[in-house]
Amino acid sequence: MQKRKLGNSNLEVSAMGLGCMGLSSGFGPPVEKQQGIALIRAAFERGVTFFDTAEAYGPFANEELVGEALAPFRDQVVIATKFGFKLDPKAERPLVGVDSRPEHIRKVAESSLKWLKTDVIDLFYQHRVDPNVPIEDVAGTVKDLIQQGKVRHFGLSEAGVQTIRRAHKVQPVTALQSEYSLWWREPEAEIMPTLEELSIGFVPFSPLGKGFLTGAINEETKFGKSDFRSIVPRFTPENRKVNQTLVDVLGRFAKEKKATPAQIALAWLLAQKPWIVPIPGTTKLNRLEENLGALAVDLTPDDLRQIDSVASRIPVQGERYPESMQKLINR
């Protein structure tokens, strides 16, 4: 397995990680516990050393699953988890707001250590920026946790440029986790140049467009009530029909390279910067192996230019989040 470093932090991880959220929430019913453990361990056996979770996934169920799955080789892996949401585990939609007050961050850290069955969190992200708490207070609290030996690295998720800069002055930010793919290229404008300037790593989530870029979804696909995509504007049947054009383009490149559309999408992402580590998620072993196969796909500079040229002419239809969630992004 190829390795990459996140920024100048010397945090070395596998060139592709595993996003574990979908095993417990977000994309339909959770998988059976032993199935989830088996998938996480299969990823480790294939060289994956970077695993992403959060207290909000479940809530808590995903951290518990990841902690149990990785316990036998805890010292050989990097576990990232997150704080910053106000949760009501009994509610149908348990995320009821944001909360990055220092006392809440400390409480979440203790809870995550327990669920993950570990004595240190390798990478602790603020899940979403809290407009009611100065980012300096957030970074300072994580800095204290680092000094106490409970956390190793500090990260941000879906933060804007000024927030990243302000946080970085208090406690160096090791990684930013935000959505980035051929389906969502907004970070290229301001975020990525800032990360490069400050030597911060980039961990794209939804690198396959929440499954759309795999080619396994079309306008006829039905999403269950517990599948987040059922409320995402970009996933309405009409928008899926229009957005299929991009998947068709990936399919043509895939045929040339004897690869799959998903592998082309991931290989393109990996080729953008050496400090990018995508974290595609899956519940299926064959999809895990397909995703990891992207590491062997060689896209030449000419291939990349062609993909960029064609993709840039295809407007993607629909917002990537419902209106109620838009306000939590890029603060």
Active-site residue list? 57
Are 213 and 261 in contact, with CB atoms under 8 Å apart?
yes
Give the list of residues 6+ apart from residue 45 with CB closer than 8 angstroms, or none: none
- Between CA 157 and CA 330 the distance in angstroms is 9
Q: Which amino acid is at 104?
A: H
Q: Say how far apart CA 179 and CA 320 lie, in whole Å.
A: 10
- Sequence-ordered strand ranges (E) for the chain: 3-6, 11-14, 18-19, 50-52, 78-83, 85-87, 95-98, 121-126, 151-157, 173-179, 201-205
Give the integer Cα–Cα distance in Å for 312 and 306: 10
Please name which of 215, 188, 209, 190 lies closest in space to residue 276, comparing C-alpha atoms. 188
Residue 174: CB atoms within 10 Å = 27
Q: Which two tokens stand for residue 39?
A: 């998938």
Residue 168 structure tokens: 């970085």
Closest C-alpha among 22, 75, 21, 4 to residue 44: 75
Q: What's 184's DSSP letter?
A: B
What token pair was written down for 234?
A: 């970009």
Instruction: Fill in the DSSP letter of residue 234.
Output: G
- Count of other CB atoms within 10 angstroms of residue 97: 12
Cβ neighbourhood burial of 256 (10 Å; 0-12, 13-18, 19+): exposed
Task: Point out which residues pair with 13 in neighbouring strands.
Answer: 4
